[in-house]
Chain A
Amino acid sequence: MQFSSLAGNVALQNILATMEVERKKIASTQKKGYYFIGGGILLGIIGSVLGFPMPSIIAGLAPVIYGGIVLFKINDELQAYKHTYKRDVISEALRFLDSSLTIAPQNGIVAHEFIHSQLFTTEPDRYKTEDLVSGRAEKTAFYFAEVHAEYKTVTQTKNGRKTEWHDIFKGIIFVADFNKNFNGSTIVRPKGFGSAISAWFSTNLFSFSDKDVIKLENVDFDKTFITYGTDQVESRYLLTPAMMERILRLNHNSKYSISLSFIQSRIYIGFPLDRNYFEAPIFKSLLNPDLLNEDISTIKFMYDIVKELDLNTRIWGKN
């Protein structure tokens, strides 16, 4: 999907043209702010090197403070600009893809649902979510949002307690209505060294969890993922040979290893990503024809999952 196909959209072009004026204003104000701060710091450093630190630091402080105020004052406008971008530009691009798609920038997938999805074993201590996109591809309703979940570790050092934050997950969580009925839960996680050992332990000695390791006959699938489930038969009912192939393909098309879970008639998929999506550019023109390419291909990728996993085939007693 190229932006060029959106180029004919007059409404969108008008919005972008109006926003471009605003963007230029914000960009130049921000540049001004940064120049003052940079200049102030430079003044302090040069002065200190030349042998009169005190007066030069005081002299440098003024532009730094001024630069800070400039940035602070433009912040409200910047937030409004970012919000308008999501509300008008991204939502127009979504509608272009499928009229059922909508974006709610302030909403996301709540922490409770993230934990409930069981995609990850660690519960988050800090949780951020935004940009909820929801829609329907034929018979299948789905939604996805950006999620950043972290846990903290506190260590005792000689300078006191030190808190560190670690990522549990950063990326997009995709949720869709699954096309088969089921009662238990099935979790598919990427295979790592630790998880492989714990899986061996629970298969051969005893398991601490209410879920069994499901050994599947697709060798590639079993090498890539570890599957846990509350019911051996049900997990295989969901992960048919065809479904395993589709999941492998999906995993292959994603940059990082995906995790999946099947819980309460839904499928959850976690796609780790290293960039923020749907963010308005500040120092790049809005009129650049490649502007929306990356965002649209992300949306398209999510939208196509329904087709890719064949979720619209509803012949198993669930409509």
Chain B
Amino acid sequence: MIIAIILVILIIIGIFFYNSLIGKKNQVTNAFSAIDVMLKKRFDLIPNLVEVVKQYTNYESETLSKIVELRTRASAGNISDAEKAQIDSQLSTSVKGLMVNVENYPDLKANTNFINLQSTWAESEEQIAAARRSYNAAVTDYNNSIMMFPGSLFAGMLNFHPVPVLETAVEERKNISAKDLFNN
């Protein structure tokens, strides 16, 4: 009788842990798709941004065409997540460069559309950073539970493997503040 009760308790605990592991694994996938959504949102800003900037500047065409090209590559659809992240990082750098150069074009700087785009860009920048931090938190949580006791006992058996966290590019780390964009 006692053995049966202990067995039932152990099974219940096992189910709880298994379910919580599955929950955490799904959380990782979920967090990654959040980054994806944010990236898409940011890519969608590009055409408008390019359009507005084009009207005022004559000298930034090289930067603009680079941005357009990156955007086209990002929305091609058949690229891997890693590639997408890399394109995003390049895109981010190019747009940052563009925003800094805007200082030379007072008319553009004063354009309402441009100001809106600038703040939407800054917003998306911080949202992507938040999504990446959420992803890393979910990954750490998941990794901890499969590497620590008692999860470590059956994680291998059930085919749970640790997932790497996202490293922040040196470039991004340097420009963590969206305020820099505004150069003021």
Chain A interface residues (CB < 8 Å from chain B): 180-181, 203-206, 214-217, 232-237, 240-242, 313-318
Identify B126's interface contact among A203, A232, A316, CB under 8 A.
A316
Q: Are A205 and B16 in contact (CB under 8 A)?
A: yes
- Closest residue of B by beta carbon distance from A238: B130
A244 to B4 alpha-carbon distance, docked (Å): 50
Point out the residues of chain A lying under 8 angstroms from B50, CB to CB.
none
B174 within 8 A of A: no
B131 within 8 A of A: yes
Q: Are A317 and B119 in contact (CB under 8 A)?
A: yes
Q: Are B123 and A317 in contact (CB under 8 A)?
A: yes
- Contacts A204-B20, A205-B16, A315-B178; is A236 near B134 (CB within 8 Å)? yes
- Contacts A203-B141, A215-B141, A315-B122; is A234 near B130 (CB within 8 Å)? yes
Nearest CB of chain A from residue B73's CB, rounded to whole Å: 25
Point out the residues of chain B lying under 8 angstroms from A235, CB to CB.
130
- Closest residue of A by beta carbon distance from B118: A315
Point out the residues of chain A lying under 8 angstroms from B129, CB to CB.
236, 240
Identify B31's interface contact among A180, A204, A232, CB under 8 A.
A232
- Closest residue of B by beta carbon distance from A240: B126
Nearest CB of chain A from residue B85's CB, rounded to whole Å: 16
Q: Are B120 and A233 in contact (CB under 8 A)?
A: no
Nearest CB of chain A from residue B83's CB, rounded to whole Å: 22
A318 to B34 alpha-carbon distance, docked (Å): 22
| Consensus secondary structure, chain B interface | helix
Q: Are A240 and B123 in contact (CB under 8 A)?
A: no
Interface 1/0s, chain B 145-184, versus A by CB < 8 A? 1000000000000000000000000000000111101100
Point out the residues of chain A lying under 8 angstroms from B120, CB to CB.
317
A217 to B127 alpha-carbon distance, docked (Å): 16
Point out the residues of chain A lying under 8 angstroms from B133, CB to CB.
217, 236
Q: Are B122 and A240 in contact (CB under 8 A)?
A: no
Identify A180's interface contact among B123, B137, B138, B181, CB under 8 A.
B123
Q: Are A316 and B119 in contact (CB under 8 A)?
A: yes
Q: Are B20 and A205 in contact (CB under 8 A)?
A: yes
Nearest CB of chain A from residue B53's CB, rounded to whole Å: 18
Q: How many residues of B contact A (CB 8 A)?
A: 30
Point out the residues of chain A lying under 8 angstroms from B143, CB to CB.
none
Cβ contacts A to B, 6 pairs, < 8 Å: A232-B137, A240-B126, A315-B119, A315-B179, A316-B119, A316-B126
Question: What's the A-B contact tally at a CB cutoff of 8 Å?
Answer: 65
- Contacts A234-B130, A237-B126, A315-B118; is A217 near B137 (CB within 8 Å)? yes
Point out the residues of chain A lying under 8 angstroms from B61, CB to CB.
none
Interface 1/0s, chain B 16-30, versus A by CB < 8 A? 100010000000000
Q: Are B138 and A232 in contact (CB under 8 A)?
A: yes
Point out the residues of chain A lying under 8 angstroms from B34, CB to CB.
232-233
- Closest residue of A by beta carbon distance from B122: A315
Interface residues of B in 104-127 (CB under 8 A from A): 116, 118-120, 122-123, 126-127
A181 to B38 alpha-carbon distance, docked (Å): 15
A318 to B141 alpha-carbon distance, docked (Å): 33
A203 to B16 alpha-carbon distance, docked (Å): 12
Q: Are B141 and A316 in contact (CB under 8 A)?
A: no
8 tightest A-B contacts by CB?
A: A236-B130, A237-B130, A316-B123, A232-B134, A317-B119, A315-B122, A317-B123, A233-B134
Point out the residues of chain B lying under 8 angstroms from A318, CB to CB.
119
Identify B176's interface contact among A206, A241, A316, CB under 8 A.
A241
Point out the residues of chain A lying under 8 angstroms from B127, CB to CB.
233, 237
Point out the residues of chain B lying under 8 angstroms from A236, CB to CB.
129-131, 133-134, 137
Identify A215's interface contact among B130, B137, B178, B182, CB under 8 A.
B137
- Closest residue of B by beta carbon distance from A237: B130
Point out the residues of chain B lying under 8 angstroms from A204, CB to CB.
20, 145
- Closest residue of B by beta carbon distance from A313: B179
Nearest CB of chain A from residue B14's CB, rounded to whole Å: 13
Nearest CB of chain B from residue A234's CB, rounded to whole Å: 7
Point out the residues of chain B lying under 8 angstroms from A205, CB to CB.
16, 20
Nearest CB of chain B from residue A215's CB, rounded to whole Å: 5
A316 to B178 alpha-carbon distance, docked (Å): 9
A90 to B49 alpha-carbon distance, docked (Å): 50
Identify A233's interface contact among B123, B130, B178, CB under 8 A.
B130
Nearest CB of chain A from residue B151's CB, rounded to whole Å: 10
- Closest residue of A by beta carbon distance from B119: A317
A203 to B141 alpha-carbon distance, docked (Å): 9
**A237-B126, A316-B119 given; 12 more Cβ-contact pairs under 8 Å:** A180-B126, A215-B140, A217-B136, A233-B34, A237-B127, A237-B130, A240-B126, A240-B129, A315-B179, A315-B182, A317-B120, A318-B119
